[in-house]
Structure 1
Amino acid sequence: MSDFDSTLKSLSFLLDDSFRPSLVLHVNGDIYYENEPFKMHFDITGKRNISEIIDSTSLCEWTGFSERASTSEQILMEKLSVTLCFDEIVPSELQLFYIPDMKKIIAKFDFQEPCKIPSLKTYFNAFRQSSDFLLLVDQDGKIRDVNEVHSVFINQTRKELVGQSIGNVLSIIDPENDESVHDLLEKVKVQGFVESIKTYQRSAEDTRYYHITTYYDKETNIFIFQMSDSTEKENLQVQLAHSGSLSAVGQIAASIAHEIRNPITTLKGFTQLLKVSATDDSIRYISVIEDEIERMETILGEMLVLSKPSEKKKAVFSLEVLVGDMVSILLPKAVMDGIEVAQSAELSSNPHIFGDPDKMKQVLLNLFKNALESMQVGGKLAVHLSESDGKLILSITDTGKGMTRHQVSQVFMPFFSSKPGGTGLGLPFVLKTVEDHGGTIAVDSQIDVGTKFILTFPKAKEGASYPLNSKQSIVS
Structure 2
Amino acid sequence: MKNIIRIITMLLILITIFSMAASVAINDDKDVLIIAGDKNYPPYEFIDDDGEYRGFNVDLMRALAIELGVEIKLVPMDWMGAHAALINGEIDAIQGMSFNENRAEIYDFSNEYLVNSQVCFVKKDNSIIFGLEDLKGRRVAVQRSDFAAYTLAEIGEIEVVFFSDLDEAFSKLINNDVDAVVGNRLTGLYNIQKKRIEDKIKIVGYELNQTPYGIAFKKGNQQLVKEANIGLENLKKNGTYQKIYEKWFGKEIKPEWKSLKYTLYFLSFIILLTILIILFITRLNLVLKREVEKRTHELEMINKELEAKQLMINESNRFKEQVLDSLGNGLITFDKDGTITTINKNSESLIGIKKTGALGRKYNEIGLDEYFDMEKLKDCITFGTVYSLEEKTFYHNHRNITFSYTLSPLKGDEDVHIGAVLTYRDITEVIMLRNKLAEKDKMQSLGRLVAGIAHEIRNPLTSIKTYIELMPIKYDNKDFREKMTQQVPAEITRLNSLLSDLIDYSKPKKMKKEAFYLKDIIVQTVELFTAELDKKGIILKYNIEDNVNIYADKQQIRQIIINLLINSIESIEESGEISFSIKQDEDKIIMEIVDNGKGISEEDMDNLFEPFFTTKADGTGLGLSICYQYVKENNGQINIRSKENIGTTIELVFKNNFEEDAEEGGYNEQDFDN
TM over 0.5: no
Bigger relative contact order, structure 1 or 2, given CA contacts below 8 A and separation 6+? Answer: 1
TM-score, normalising length: structure 1: 0.37
TM-score, normalising length: structure 2: 0.27
Say which structure is richer in helix.
2
